[in-house]
Amino acid sequence: MSNSLVVAPLLVAFGSAVCTLAVGSRPRLQRATSVAGGIAYAATVAAVAWLVVLAPTAPGGIAYQVGGHEAPYGITLVVDGLSAFMLAMAAAVALYAIAVSVRFVDPRNQRTYYHPMFQLLLVGVTGAFLAGDLFNLFVWFEVLLMASYVFVAFYGGAQQTAAAMRYLVLNVVGSVCMLLAVGGLYATLGTLNMAEMAVQLSNPSADVRVAPLVGFSALLFVTFALKAGLAPFQFWVPAASAASIVVGGLGAVSRDSLEELLAYSSISQVGFILAPVAIAAATTAPDLRHLAVLAALVYALHHALTKGLLFLSAAAVKDVTGTTRLSEVGGLGERSSLFSGVFFVGGLSLVGIPPLVGFFGKLLVFDAAARLARTPTAGSVLAVVVLLLGALLTIVYVTRAWVGSFWGVQTEPVSTGSVDRPLVALLATLATVVVLVGVGFEPVYRFADAAATAALDTDTYVETVLGGADG
């Protein structure tokens, strides 16, 4: 197997960006090219995941040394179970985001740069998942952030401009912190290659200065927390996205628009992903650590699919009514039973009702927390209590969103609006994916299990990166 396979998703995304820019003067062709690029990207990621991770004879991981310069001195790109799993999530969400954009976004606003910027965003995401060293992880982060700035400020209104300024300032601060952390870690360890770093840190005889290592690692964590919106860094999120369970849940319950409710919900739901990661870091039991990482990955997949479905459904609500204020969108269920069913599936999955994918995500997270609490400590008990509170808040705000949007008396915007049936049909296919991932969970579990194994198997990762790979 050629190690050049690693760069295939990156090349497809970059090629799609170039092609959509080249046909910018022909809007219909540009939109078709962008959708085709999304399909090609998803197919490429599926092929890479099968050949590298899932096939019976798959190697489990391969590394590509850019320009033939061997690690740890050159630029290394790596595909293993973890990166393949993350790429698969990105491919699924990106494909539906592109397709819905073609239907939802005004064609005049799609002209010229919308689709090239979307593809460049995908380039940055792909590079970040494949990066084998911290400096290039920083570079790919900046690529995806530069594209994301455009989308946060896309409509140019006062609200979007203010959100874009907050987003820009916070991410510039985060980028500076990340660059300082990367530079500090290089000064401390003499390398930024993650495999080489793992070798040094696992060597008891290595002369590693602990204080600067811990300090710069903490600064790097703060950077990721800032970019993810983890509490207490979440104050820019209502205009963009993510993080802690209770803060997000309480915020979602109190919101009066569907968009804001889902944004605060994302703060809470990312907290459900962070919780098992914290459990994995806190425990010394290998089985529990593996379960916790597996739970985080499955919940991340659930969040990507389910919240993607709900956010895109909010776009469809706005398409019908011109607003997402819960007081103005009641009675949507009477206009389209299919649309009502789509949102209902998303809501049930977010709550965690079997056999939807959200059930398995919550089940694994609670299983990890319960196992940690078998040896009761203040932290383990608090984790279970917070998760239970978060689950209860999820039920409350999902019920509120459902009742406010699809039940009750039809409001004037709903009765006079027009339902985009092709858009609803497209969302129905995503709702079907949410159902099928849950019903056919066994292969998904195997994929996530391989990703969790890759995340924890440092020796195999080191051998993949430093054991010699062609360029």
* Residue that terminates a domain, selected from 123, 152, 181: 152
- 417: Cβ contacts below 8 Å, ≥ 6 apart: 320, 321, 322, 335
| Amino acid 340: pLDDT | 92
Residue 470 is assigned to a structural domain of this protein: no
**For position 240, what pLDDT does the model report?**
33
User: Does some domain include residue 355?
Assistant: yes
Kindly state whether residue 467 falls inside one of the protein's structural domains.
no
Report the pLDDT value the prediction gives residue 132, as an integer from 0 to 100. 92
When pLDDT is averaged across residues 62-77 and rounded to a whole number, the result is 88
In a domain, 465, yes or no: no
**Final residue before a domain boundary, out of 228, 246, 263:** 228
Q: Is residue 218 part of a domain?
A: yes
pLDDT value at position 149? Answer: 85
Q: What value does the mean pLDDT of the chain take?
A: 89
Q: Based on the domain organization, do 363 and 398 belong to the same domain?
A: yes
Q: Are residues 325 and 424 in the same domain?
A: yes
- Nearest one of 303, 308, 305 to 364, comparing CA atoms: 303
Q: Tell me which H or E stretch contains 328.
A: none
pLDDT surpassing 50 at residue 236: no
How far is 404 from 414, CA to CA, in rounded Å? 12
Residue 271 pLDDT: 86
Write out the residue range of the structural domain in which residue 274 sits: 236-457
For residues 254 and 183, membership in a common domain is answered with: no
Note the pLDDT tens digit of each residue in 346-394. 999 999 999 999 999 999 999 999 999 888 888 788 889 989 999 999 9
Q: Residues 201, 272: one domain?
A: no
The verdict on 143 and 248 lying in the same domain is no
pLDDT 10s digits, 295-337:
999 999 999 999 999 999 999 999 889 888 888 888 888 888 9
φ/ψ bin of 67: left (φ > 0), alpha (ψ from -120 to 50), beta (otherwise): left
458, pLDDT greater than 50: yes
The per-residue pLDDT for 230 is 61
Do 241 and 104 lie in one domain? The reply is: no
Question: Which of these three, 171, 203, 228, is where a domain ends?
Answer: 228
Residue with the bigger pLDDT between 225 and 201: it is 201
Specify the number of domains making up the chain. 3
On whether both 304 and 345 belong to a single domain, the answer is yes
Asked if residue 378 is part of any domain, the answer here is yes
Q: Answer whether residue 184 shows pLDDT above 90.
A: yes
pLDDT at 239: 35
16 sits in which H/E element = helix 8-22
pLDDT in tens, 87-143: 999 999 999 999 999 988 888 888 878 999 999 999 999 999 999 999 999 999 999
Report the percent of the chain where pLDDT is more than 70: 95
How far is Cα 310 from Cα 307, in angstroms, rounded to an integer? 5
Same domain, yes or no, for 110 and 23?
yes
Q: What is the pLDDT of residue 237?
A: 42
> What is d(CA 164, CA 123) in angstroms, rounded to the nearest whole number?
21
* pTM metric for this prediction: 0.91
Residue 233: pLDDT band with limits 50, 70, 90: low
Average pLDDT over residues 71-97: 94
Decide if 150 contacts 113 (C-beta within 8 A): yes
- One domain for residues 196 and 259: no
* Residue 469 resides in a domain: no
Asked whether residue 143 falls in the same domain as residue 166, the answer is no
Predicted pLDDT of residue 202: 85
Residue 94 lies in a domain: yes
Q: State the residue for tokens 């300082």.
A: 180
Q: Does one domain contain both 78 and 208? A: no
CA atoms within 13 A on the CB side of 349: 32
Span 407-418, average pLDDT: 85
| Same domain assignment for residues 256 and 362 | yes
CA terminus-to-terminus distance, the chain = 12
Residues 14-28 pLDDT 10s: 999 999 999 988 999
